[in-house]
Amino acid sequence: MSSEYLIEVEDLKQYFPVKTGFFKSVPLKAVDGVSFGIKAGETLGLVGESGCGKTTVGRSILRLYEPTGGTVKYDGEEITADNIREHRKHMQMVFQDPYSSLNPRMTVEDIIGEPLDVHKLYADKKERREKILNLMELVGLNAEHATRYAHEFSGGQRQRIGIARALAVNPRFIVCDEAVSALDVSIQAQVINMFEDLQQKLGVAYLFIAHDLLVVRHISNRIAVMYLGRVVEIGDADEVYENPLHPYTQSLLSAVPIPDPVAASKSKRIVLSGDVPSPMNMPTGCAFRTRCRYATEKCAQECPALTDRGGGHQVACIHQ
């Protein structure tokens, strides 16, 4: 992977030990060998069903979880436990739940100002307050909101507070972990438009984690599809959407509602058989083979690697 990428993730692994008895534990492979890159000012959408490891990828990149294996580089420099504090200024996260990610005992001013306090990014109290008010204005909050507490706001406003907190240190990269999934649809649109405006103004790059494929296509430059801890397809957003190659991606996209009744009546829903296997007891070979309509004996013998099918469109499937 070349240094054209702001964030480089290579063979990232995150295993959690799960106790199965006295002095016995089995590794739960939440993330198992994920690799991708994100350019400066770009949005990579990360999609997949619940439990596939999307959030764990985001948290492991920022070292909120200590990775089991693999490397993460920021601007060509590997992120380690020793230098992560310095990199925190450049990499931030917007959490999924705006109700639990804000401290109920702190005012909005203190919540947004906390990163400024931690990294000592102001000379005096006047400059601190000016920065906080500027951030609030940037995300569409009024100055009089500064002295209120989080419980006095709606879900959309709380998420704006969380976004302002993430922007406080002027980061170049933000992990948006299901940042709009807890919001009403009308509020979702406002927050997504705000993310896009901020990207144009500040040039910030996003890892946009979501399960709503319409939202992801709207905001993303490229899309990566995850299944059971692995990336099974990655490519340009329009290319993945118009020409999905992996059977799992095809199934996900067939479930997206189509607003045109005529087109919707002609589209076929691809229903997957069976349940998602346990990450503690993964199938041999390709993890998706137990639910795949194209599966053969060869799929049980080898785990396909991501291979380029042209134009940066990579797929991990021996049949496509």
- Give the Cα separation of 105 and 65 in Å (integer): 26
State pLDDT tens for residues 97-130: 888 899 999 999 999 999 999 999 999 999 999 9
- Give the Cα separation of 31 and 227 in Å (integer): 10
- The set of residues, in sequence order, having a beta carbon less than 8 Å from that of 79 and lying 6+ positions away, is 61, 63, 72, 73, 87
What pLDDT score was predicted for residue 153?
92
Q: pLDDT category, 55, cuts 50, 70, 90? A: very high
- Give the Cα separation of 308 and 29 in Å (integer): 25
State pLDDT tens for residues 298-312: 999 988 999 999 889
pLDDT at 292 over 60: yes
- Give the Cα separation of 237 and 223 in Å (integer): 5
Percentage of residues of the chain with pLDDT beyond 70: 99
User: Alpha carbon of 196 to those of 93, 99, 189: distances in Å?
Assistant: 16, 23, 11
- The amino acid occupying position 74 is Y
Q: pLDDT category, 236, cuts 50, 70, 90? A: very high
Q: Which domains does the chain have, with CATH numbers?
A: 5-90+171-315 (3.40.50.300), 100-170 (no CATH)
What pLDDT score was predicted for residue 98?
84
Task: Say what angle helices 108-118 and 125-138 make with each other, to 10 degrees.
Answer: 120
Task: Tell which wins on pLDDT, 259 or 88.
Answer: 88
The answer to whether 90 and 168 are in contact (CB under 8 A) is: no
- The set of residues, in sequence order, having a beta carbon less than 8 Å from that of 251 and lying 6+ positions away, is 270, 271, 272
Q: What's the order of all strands across the beta sheet hosting 307-308? A: 91-94, 173-177, 205-209, 43-47, 222-227, 230-236, 314-315, 307-308
pLDDT at 2 over 80: no
The answer to whether 70 and 13 are in contact (CB under 8 A) is: yes
What pLDDT score was predicted for residue 13?
96
Tokens encoding 92: 């931030």
- Mean pLDDT along residues 22-30: 89
The answer to whether 12 and 72 are in contact (CB under 8 A) is: yes
pLDDT at 278 over 70: yes
User: Alpha carbon of 301 to those of 95, 124, 206, 287, 304: distances in Å?
Assistant: 38, 63, 36, 11, 10
- Give the Cα separation of 209 and 213 in Å (integer): 10
pLDDT at 1 over 50: no
- Give the Cα separation of 264 and 276 in Å (integer): 27
**6-15, 141-150, 268-277, range with the lowest pLDDT:** 268-277
Task: Say whether 11 sits in a helix, a strand or coil.
Answer: strand
H or E stretch at 35: strand 24-39
What pLDDT score was predicted for residue 155?
87
Task: Say whether 190 sits in a helix, a strand or coil.
Answer: helix
- Give the Cα separation of 227 and 232 in Å (integer): 7
pLDDT at 282 over 90: no
